[in-house]
Amino acid sequence: MKYLLRFLSIFFLLASCGSSKTTNVKLEADYTIAFGSCNREDEDQPLWEPILANDPDLFLWGGDNVYADTDDPEVLEKAYQQQLSNPNYLKLLNSVPVFGTWDDHDYGQNDGGKNWHLKETSQQLFLDFMNVPENSPRRSREGVYHSELLETEQGSIKVIILDTRYFRDTLQKSNEPGKRYEPSEGSILGEQQ
């Protein structure tokens, strides 16, 4: 597990918002937001103890939340179940809101993009893992991007969480030894996102 900030996937906009669309998340004046990503569900996860010790108000998954790398939905579901049985992760989950996005290894395919054939099933399993209600609009739209509005005493924070897998055009493989891909034109976020 690495403590990585995935700036491409998660943006914060500090704003004074007049919107009526808010979550139930209210942050203290002196709030702490914790991040995590690149998490092997089948290995020790020493990160939760220091995260819990820092008493965060919110936790954001930056992707590769499990390493399933599979086109078998059962294997992917089992990986999520294994993560959900980690006692320290459960402690966090039961104490603060948890939002986030996926990356390739929980999407199901290393470096996968828009042509991943399991993406629709994978999306539903991801939303199950994130405890998104069955009647949420996120269940019926493509991709796992979303935003959350958090209230603080100083104003609102809009957390915009991007999906850089579901819509991403195919990467161009490189013939150069040691180089995996060439820069190429295309979309990462897709039209609607």
**Nearer CB in complex with Fe ion: 56/112:** 112
In 3D, which of 106, 77, 96 has the Cα closest to residue 166?
Answer: 106
Q: Which residue in the set 57, 76, 101, 104 belongs to the binding site for Fe ion (CB under 5 A)?
A: 104
**Nearer CB in complex with Fe ion: 111/151:** 111
What are the backbone angles phi and psi of residue 175, rounded to the nearest 5°?
A: -95, -10
Least separation in angstroms between CB 64 and Fe ion: 5
- Window of 5-13, 98-106, 139-147, 152-160 that interacts with Fe ion by CB under 5 A: 98-106
Q: Which residue in the set 41, 57, 103, 106 belongs to the binding site for Fe ion (CB under 5 A)?
A: 103
Question: Which element (helix H / strand E) includes 58?
Answer: strand 58-61
Whether the CB-CB separation of 183 and 193 falls below 8 Å is answered with: no
Q: How far is CA 26 from CA 76, 163, 165, 186, in A?
A: 33, 25, 30, 38
Least separation in angstroms between CB 6 and Fe ion: 9
- Pattern 7-36, Fe ion, x by CB under 5 A: ------------------------------
**Nearer CB in complex with Fe ion: 25/101:** 101
Residues 53-72 that bind Fe ion (CB under 5 A): 64
Rounded distance between C-alpha atoms, residue 64 and residue 135, angstroms: 25
Note whether 106 binds Fe ion by CB under 5 A.
no
Question: Which element (helix H / strand E) includes 77?
Answer: helix 73-84
In 3D, which of 21, 29, 33 has the Cα closest to residue 61?
Answer: 33
Residues that bind Fe ion (CB under 5 A): 64, 103-104
